[in-house]
Every structure is written in C-alpha cells, then in structure tokens.
Amino acid sequence: MRFEWLVARRYLRSPHRPAVLRLVTVLSIVGVAAGVATLVIALSMNSGFRETLQDRLLGVTAHITLSEPAADGLHDYQALAARLAQTPGVRSATPAIYETVLLSSGSSSGIELKGVDPELEKKSNEALNHIVEGHADFSPDADGISAVILGHLLAEKSRVHAGDYVTLISSEGRLTPFSMVPRAARFRVTGIFDSGFYDFDANWGFTTLAAAQSLAGVSDVVSVIEFRIGQLDRASALASELARAAGPGFKASTWQEENRALFRALSLEKLVTAIFIGLITFVAGLNILVVLTMSVTDRARDIAVLMSLGARRRQLRGVFFLQGIAIGAVGTAAGLLIGYLSTWIAGTYLHIPLDPEVYSIPFVPFHPNGFDALWISAAALAICAAATFVPARAAARLMPVEILRYE
C-alpha cells in the first residue's frame, strides 16, 4: 500500500478525530451524493421527455415532408411519390392532403383533417395501428358516406363513438348566386385511435384522399408527399437529395426543422438544469475544503513528525488529495446508486401523472443514460479534487521546526 493512501485512510477512519470534523465529513459525503443523485434524476427526466416526445411524434408524423409552395398542390403526385420512393434510405413515400375543418356532432370543434391513401398510411403511421374502438376501415357505408377515423380525446370531447355520423365543414366554400357557402359533408366514424400524443389524439382525423379532396373542392391533388426514412440522423441530407430529385420549386423539410422550437427548448432546459443542480456538488466541494483545512490544523503535529522522519512535501500533498478524492468518490458512488435506483422505481412503478394538455404525455418519463453517469462522475470528482488544492498546499508548506519547537 502506498504511503499516501495508508496515511489518508488512517486519518479518515481515525476514531480520535474531533466530533465536528467527523460531522462535516459526513455532511460532505451527503452533499456530494445529493448533488449527483439530483442531477441523475433531473437529466433522466429531461432525456425521458425528449425521447418520449420524439418517439411519439415520429410515430404519427413524417420524417421528411416534400411540398411545392408556389403551386396550388401536387398534381402528378402518384408518379412522383413512386419515383422518389426508390431513393436509397427512403422506407416509404405517402401522399397526403391537409385541411382545417369544423366537426359538428351536437357540439362543434375545429380539427385537422388529413386525407391519406389508406394502404400506404397504415404501413407508416402508428396512429392507425392503435385503434381503441372500431376498425381502421376507410370503406364508405352502404349509402356511399365516406369514413373518418378520429383521435380518442377528440371523440370524447365530441361525444361520438365508432358507427356514429358527424358533419365536417370546410373553410374552402363554394360560390353560389347569393354568397359563398361553406362546403359540408357527412362522414361515418369507423374507428377511434390512441396515438399517445395529446395533440394528435385531441385534434386530428383521417379520411381518404378522395373524400378530403371533395370536401376541399379541389381536383386530384395533394398538399405534400411524406417520407419515412431508415436513419433519422440522415434526414437533412436525404431532404436535400429528395428536393433536388423532385425538381425546381420543390421544398423538403425535416422533422427537426418543423419541431425545432420544442427540441431546442428541451436542450436549453437540460443545460440550465445541469448548471443549477451542479451548484449543489460545488457547495459539497466547499465542505470538503473545510474538512481538509480543519484536518490540516488538527494534524499539524503529525505532519511535522512525518516531515522530520523524511516524508516529502509531495507525499503530504498526496495524503490530503487522496482524502478529498475518497470523500468525493464515496459520495459520487452513493449518489449514482440513489439516482439510478430512484429513476428505475419512479419509471417502473410510480408513473407520476402529468397534465397531457400541457406536456403532451400523461406521465413523467424517466430514461436514464449511462453516458450521463460518466460525465457526472467526472465533474463531481473534478470539483472534489479542486477543493483539495488549498489544504494540500497548506499541509506541504508547514514548517516542522516551528511546530515542534515547544513540544
């Protein structure tokens, strides 16, 4: 065993230390553990929100959206979608038309209606694979009335169930000799979906392309072509490639661009959380500085004797450096254990509820990240190591002659 660690361990475990010194040592360990555990829990929550929102968002929205802003829609969309679907990295290409309409079923509410190709959309949109009532059936009924599938929160708010009929009113009216009259059509609710994402469950409906085009009063055109890709980190590169392949006038946007504000806010929140909670560990580091300073004062005669017997100043600095690192290491290990155990229990058993209207998800998600443990440990130990500098330097500068002169 190295001399420095032998002496440092004896100092830490000595039963003859003053009670106040033992108390401050324990408080230092608790402070480091509290800072590390709190940081682990906070970052797990932040990662959970980001990953959960991203997963649910990508389950119901496109990875890349292609449009032609200068035109009144995409006309030859079937051939264009089939051609662009052959691009390496693209999993699917689905045409869609979007329209904001008024749903009337005793009460009225504005919704976002999406006209889709049923077969293509079922393969790429997870919302249509999570039907909680009825079926994902877009077939018209015996009277030729088109089908619509609604989010479960929208259905609850509108008090409709699978099999009921609703009226959808488009803002794109038709001109009559008297005035502009809104377009309206009856739809049969064939299914109700639960995507797990509040905004979609409360405000969205799906119907066929033909029904949406008829309600909007347009010809065989779509608003966009939506692409799902295999590698999300290639979204920007593939978007540029698809826009070039589509031709002049086309614009491709990625899911990151369309949700940039949301994910930027989450990233900023993570940074601010790490800084402010990291101050807890910084305060614990100050406690370690106090512990070691008191230890140097309490062990001044021991240090003088060791120096008289041949101990080098570098070795004495090492003694107090190792004391501080030992306190920090114990606190960090305890904090990591408490933090990850707490996130596992909270994520597995507690399911802390949230208001989905505010947070878009119904409970607090915890997704602990192993990489966070590495940099949190490194930061905590770096703070503890920095706190040892002044006391270790003071111990090495003691003059044994002055201390032992009157002994």
**Collapsed DSSP state (helix, strand, coil) of residue 360:** coil
Residues 6 or more apart whose CB falls under 8 angstroms from that of 17 comprise: 11, 295, 298
How far is Cα 377 from Cα 68, in angstroms, rounded to an integer? Answer: 50
- Output the pLDDT for position 261: 75
Angle at 277 between CA 273 and CA 280, to 5 degrees: 170
How far is Cα of residue 269 from the mean position of the Cα atoms in its chain? 10
Assessment of whether the complete model's pTM goes beyond 0.75: no
- Sole residue written with tokens 């406690």: 287
- Output the pLDDT for position 187: 94
- Output the pLDDT for position 68: 86
- Output the pLDDT for position 173: 61
Residues 6 or more apart whose CB falls under 8 angstroms from that of 342 comprise: 37, 40, 41
- Output the pLDDT for position 181: 66
- What do you get for the CA distance between the two ends of the chain, in Å? 31
Which of 225, 243, 150, 148 has its CA nearest to residue 187?
148
- Output the pLDDT for position 386: 86
φ/ψ of residue 330, rounded to 5: -65, -45
pLDDT tens digits in sequence order for the chain, 407 residues long: 587 788 777 777 777 777 777 888 888 888 889 888 988 998 888 888 888 887 878 878 888 999 888 777 888 888 998 899 898 989 889 999 999 899 988 778 889 999 998 888 888 888 888 899 998 889 998 888 999 999 999 999 889 999 999 999 887 766 555 555 678 889 999 999 988 888 888 899 999 999 998 888 888 889 999 999 888 888 889 999 999 998 888 899 988 888 777 777 777 777 877 787 777 778 878 888 888 887 777 777 777 777 777 778 788 888 888 888 888 899 999 999 999 999 988 888 877 887 776 666 778 888 888 888 898 888 888 888 888 888 888 877 777 766 666 55
How far is Cα 56 from Cα 290, in angstroms, rounded to an integer? Answer: 49
**Collapsed DSSP state (helix, strand, coil) of residue 136:** coil
- Output the pLDDT for position 406: 56
Beta strands in 203-281 (DSSP E): 204-208, 224-229, 251-254
Which of 170, 166, 150, 161 has its CA nearest to residue 98?
170
